[in-house]
Structure 1
Amino acid sequence: MQFLLRSQIKFFYRPSGLKNNPTFHPDSIVFTLVNKGGDDWAINVENTSPYYASFSGATVASGGREIDLQTTMLAPFSKDSWTAKLSDSLRGGEITLKARLINDYGSIEEIAHDLHP
């Protein structure tokens, strides 16, 4: 009989001088759909808070399909660009981003955001 245990521990130091509530607010993340020409697109992500934002994943729903995105941890007051894991075009209609944010307690909070081309 074999058992495999895999765990990951993240440690964040928060200086006492940080203002605001240490509970992260998903409203501090700004998502923007960017057309890079033709079928090439990306999601620009901006963290406007003084706290790190950890994501366990994200998808974009377009034309009845969900497209997985390559996500990253966002440092305070930083920007990044997320792209599809596999090359895929967005179809017309409503485009919705769903991101899974990991909070301070290790729980997943899902953020849903409508994107406009």
Structure 2
Amino acid sequence: MRLPLLIVCVTTYAFTTLSHAAGIQVGRTRVIYDANKKEVALALTNTEKELPWLIQSWTDNGDGKTRGPFIVTPPLFRLDPQKEQSLRITWSGQALPTDRESLFYMNVRTIPAIEKDNNQKNVLRLIYKTRLKLFWRPEGLKNTPVDACKNLRFSQREGQVFITNDGDYYSVFDTLRISGKSIPHVDMVAPKANATFPLANTANGSKVTWRCITDYGNATAEFTTRLTQK
């Protein structure tokens, strides 16, 4: 009698220099797609010594459902143990804003093989999905992502803190503290936009310190400013 196979899906997010989804190593934590390039490569390595993995990849617009304006090849393939293969990401040609970055997400789903000896056993099979930010970067943007991060403005009104990004790039926080208190639930600020979050009993002039994540997955220098009244 063949016993049932239990399948569990685990989603991981890339934060460090190299992301791991079980036996699959993803070569970066974010994808930067410069508009002047024909394609961008994302390296995957199977670190297993014996078992292959099945790899499925696609992009989405951020809602986890709508496919992004990129073609990923190969969309589905087998990666043998101790082998590396690159995914190739190509823009579909869909019109996108030219005065600021646009954000999408790259998804890499990895499905492990099952050893032949386990065919008749009750097996817990984990399917991993790694999700990375994919930034579409048009030509001719002003300054740099680090400049956008450095020039963020922080203000408050009626228990709300406003973060204003006047730059052309997304600012993704590595750390953010106000009066020494860590603010973990603020992820990023879109270009030419504001992010708002509640923070009661914050005094005008409170010290704000922050770092952003660079294109290479590490942190910028720490920046400091004062909280102003909006």
TM over 0.5: yes
Q: Look at both structures and tell me which one has the larger radius of gyration over its CA atoms.
A: 2
* TM-fit CA distance, 1:76: 1.2
Cα distance 1:74–1:23, how it changes in 2: closer, same or farther (>3 A)? closer
Determine the structure 2 residue equivalent to 1:3.
none
Larger RCO, structures 1/2 (Cα 8 Å, 6+ apart): 1
Q: Secondary structure at the match of 2:136?
A: coil
Q: Using the alignment, how far apart are the partners of 2:191 and 2:219 within structure 1? A: 19
Letter in 2 for 1:89: N
**Is residue 223 of structure 2 the alignment partner of residue 111 of structure 1?**
yes
Is residue 153–residue 163 contact of structure 2 (8 Å, CA) maintained in 1?
yes
Code of the residue aligned with 1:102 in structure 2: it is: I
Match of 1:80 among 195, 203, 206: 195
Whole-Å Cα distance in 2 between the matches of residues 83 and 10 of structure 1?
A: 28
State the distance in 2 between where 1:90 and 1:22 align. Answer: 31
1:33 and 2:156 aligned: yes
RMSD over aligned Cα atoms: 2.4
- Name the CA distance, whole Å, in 2 between partners of 1:99 and 1:82: 15
Q: Which runs of 5+ in 1 are unaligned?
A: 1-5
Question: What is the aligned counterpart of 1:45 among 160, 163, 172?
Answer: 163
Normalised to the residue count of structure 2, the TM-score between the two structures is: 0.37
Aligned equivalent of 1:21:
143
* Percent identity over paired residues: 19
Q: Deviations over 1:3-49 (max 9, x none)?
A: xxx76122222122x33233430343111122x1xxxx222001111
Q: Calculate the TM-score normalised by the size of structure 1.
A: 0.67
- Other-structure match for 2:30: 10
Count of residue pairs brought into register by the alignment: 98
